[in-house]
Chains A and B, each alone.
Chain A
Amino acid sequence: MADLLNALVLFANFVLIPGLSYGAQLALGALGVTLVYGVLRFSNFAHGDTMAFGAMATILVTWWLQARGFHIHPLPTALLGLPFGIAATVLLCMLVERTVYRYYRHKKSPPLVFMIASVGVMLIINGVVRFVIGADDRQFADGQRFLIKARDFKQATGLSEGLSLKVSQGLTIVIAILLVIALFWFLQKTRSGKAMRAFSDNEELALLSGIDPLRVVRMTWILAAALATIAGTLYGLDKSFKPFTYHQLLLPIFAAAIVGGIGKPHGAIAGGFVIAFSEVTITYAYKKFLIYLLPAAWQPHGLVQLLSTDYKFAVSFIILVIVLLACPTGIFRGRVL
């Protein structure tokens, strides 16, 4: 019995909790991609770097607050910086929308042109982020580190395996849940949200019913910027902030959006968790887990790891390929790109 519990705790500690928090971060990122796709109809390659920009803005404010001695002790100071980061990112997205995308929308350019333009935006934001904060790892987490410490858990339960829950992981999950509830309330209940959904569903019909396209587009960018900043900051708190990592997050985020069904917000959330849990479960070494469960004679010698952690990008890619081949619209019947 104790062996079974130990195995479960081990699994929760190394698969369930990291998968949940990583999945929540991916889901928030994929929501931004999916909203932009649904309303503006292009895959935004700059989203990963927008996340980096948002996180950077938050970090700068956080550092300033930390230097001034502002703290909200058990929680990380970055939460105080978050609103400023969101404001900065919203401004950036509005600026990009005004100077870059609006022109192509007026010209009714094909989505590919938007995509290439977003590559240009990506390069610019990437350059700005590295110019301002540098290309190295940055730490900005403070406050209490753990909600549950592995040692306390062991003492409390008497098990030999510890369960630890970082504050950043707990925060990620809580914030993601609140945010998703707020977003769905906004999309389903408010006039602006309904206008957005109508616009995404059928642009001509929405225009005929008097929906202001500029307002919808602005709303979309505000939401995408806020989601990107929050996702970026939470990812940075959980791991660490490095511009290049954010750039590389683009692939799992796209994979999550497509797997769930692009253009569908609930699909993005499901996709985020599918991708995150596949990455974590496939790259986790099950040796210890199996040792607890199997009789002594069957115990494994190797690590029992399906793929080494370096191949985590391969996992999101393979899932993406399977979904593309089996049902190109994704789990929730999004658009076919």
Chain B
Amino acid sequence: MSQPQIQSGQSGQSGQPMQPMLRASLAFAVIAALLLLVGIGQSWSFALAIVNLCLISAIMALGVNIQWGFGGLFNVGIMGFAALGGVAAVLVSKPPVVAAWAAGGVNLLLAAVCCAVTIALATLLYRRMRKGNARLLCMTAVIGLGVLAMRYFYTPAVGAIEAVQPSQYGYLGGLGLPIIFSWAVGGLFAAAAAWVVGRVALGLRADYLAIATLGIAEIIIAFLKNEDWLTRGVKNVTGLPRPVPYEIDLQQTPWFIHWVQQRNAAELSELSPEASGEALRALVVEASSLFVKLCYSGLFAAVLAVILALSITALNSPWGRMMRAIRDNHIAANCMGKHITARHRQVFILGSAVVGIAGAMLTTLDGQFTPGTYNPLRFTFLIWVMVIVGGSGNNLGAVLGGFLVWFVWIEVEPAGLWLVDNATAWLHAQHPVRVHLLASAQYMRLLLMGLVLLLVMRFSPGGILPEVVRRRQAPAPAERKPAE
């Protein structure tokens, strides 16, 4: 932030192609060092937990960067798309509840058919009839009748499904497939929702898209909280299967125990046989938890690498140049024959799909789907801070922002507590001011995030890793000197 010359992006330094790469490597080295510090200072398990969420945040930030950095679309409904990914995790991985399907499946399908028929009829009327009051009346009548017919089947179906062992099931269940497929399905769900939002709001100006996405996210969350037949609503779906081994299984696997024993042979041999058995067991427990987290990290890192590679390729391709041209001057791009709305829709769907994938991964990592925990501050605006701070328009920047901001988000809470604790140490332990400050220290991180966002926007609008603008025929640095 102390280098104001960064903000213009290519003043003076862009002549050297290594500069952005060097910057990126340095920034990532700092992140790695911070994570290592957490590993050594706090615990490796905690550090890995942060890494896993950093990876997921980085993917979400990449998705938002596709929309904002490539296309200049302001989407504040990230929470909704992430939640749709979470639904996919439930619907793919949970075994189907046969009794619930038997109880309400037929009626629910009929309701779905009614819904589809209504939409088809309404679209048909909209297309075939001339604009006017007659069309409005007909469409209202069709939609009204459709809703009534749908509710006729839907209400008993939902009642029947939710009555099937409500404490354990009360929902339809899923497909019982490996949960890893849900990552792709989550992307598809989010893409479908994005298509709908795009149809409505993308033709209009940018502010409307923001407000429309804000609304759709709230609606998706309300839907997931209340439609118990789908995801059990606020009763949550717990115990999702994992794509990686369980700790408890690992602790009984001979090769794993053997491996841990070998790794710590020197320490164990110094102890007496009983003590060494105890110590080995403790080590195995610790190692199994680390191993599981490492497995997740590997999977997430692979997904991140694929998406990052695709994003970088896309941004450097003719398509990416076209997107940036549209972003920077859509009128000029339109004059060049580019279909602005269609391209915007494309980029909006792509970005939302990436967010959906990350949402499914997050639910997989948690092992449970809890609609009550989706909060726009954490799932929408924090991701925005990541993109702006990291560097909008730069894929590596978005990844860096994901890592850095998530790290700060997690570590600020203990740091803030420590700070408040020390700053008010001179007060009596039960002093109301001290108690209040200790209780509300956790909210400091929202304040900090807002502050960071504003500071970066003001003093380094490109973010930490600004967008790299490559010019084909840049004049050599020596020729440029006199002009400046």
Contacts and interface: CB of A to CB of B under 8 A. Distances in A.
Contact of A134 (B440, B453, B458): B440
A120 interface: yes
Contacts of B458: 100, 103
A337 B450 contact: no
A337 B208 contact: yes
Given A103-B458, A311-B226, A317 B216 contact: yes
A316 B155 contact: no
A126 B457 contact: no
A117 B207 contact: no
A317 B215 contact: yes
Interface residues of B, number: 47
B45 to A, nearest CB: 29
A320 B201 CA distance: 11
Nearest to A99: B454
A332 to B, nearest CB: 17
A313 interface: yes
A321 interface: yes
Interface in B198-228: 200-201, 204-208, 210-212, 214-216, 218-219, 222-223, 225-226
Contact of B450 (A113, A120, A135): A120
A124 interface: yes
B449 interface: yes
A310 to B, nearest CB: 5
A254 B388 CA distance: 24
Interface stretch (A15-23, A161-169, A207-215, A244-252): A244-252
B218 A111 contact: no
B447 A123 contact: yes
B214 A123 contact: no
A159 interface: no
Interface residues of A, number: 49
Contacts of B305: none
Nearest to A134: B440
A321 B219 contact: no
Contacts, number: 136
B211 A116 contact: no
B443 interface: yes
Contacts of B446: 123-124, 126-127, 130
B439 interface: yes
A16 B229 CA distance: 33
Contacts of B436: 134
Given A302-B155, A317-B215, A324 B200 contact: yes
Contact of A314 (B204, B222, B375, B443): B222
Nearest to B446: A127
B26 interface: no
B112 interface: no
B377 interface: yes
B443 A130 contact: yes
B225 A310 contact: yes
Contact of A116 (B74, B201, B208): B74
Interface of B: 72, 74, 76, 155, 200-201, 204-208, 210-212, 214-216, 218-219, 222-223, 225-226, 375-377, 381, 384-385, 388, 436, 439-441, 443-451, 453-454, 457-458
| Ranked 7 nearest A-B pairs via Cβ | A127-B447, A123-B450, A127-B446, A124-B450, A317-B215, A130-B443, A120-B453
Interface of A: 42-43, 45, 100, 103, 111-113, 115-117, 119-128, 130-132, 134-135, 244, 247-248, 250-251, 254-255, 258, 302, 308, 310-311, 313-314, 316-317, 320-321, 324-325, 328, 336-337
5 contacts: A131-B443, A248-B218, A320-B215, A321-B200, A336-B205
Given A117-B454, A124-B451, 17 more contacts: A42-B207, A112-B206, A113-B457, A116-B453, A120-B454, A123-B449, A127-B443, A127-B448, A130-B446, A134-B440, A248-B218, A251-B211, A255-B215, A311-B226, A314-B219, A325-B200, A336-B205
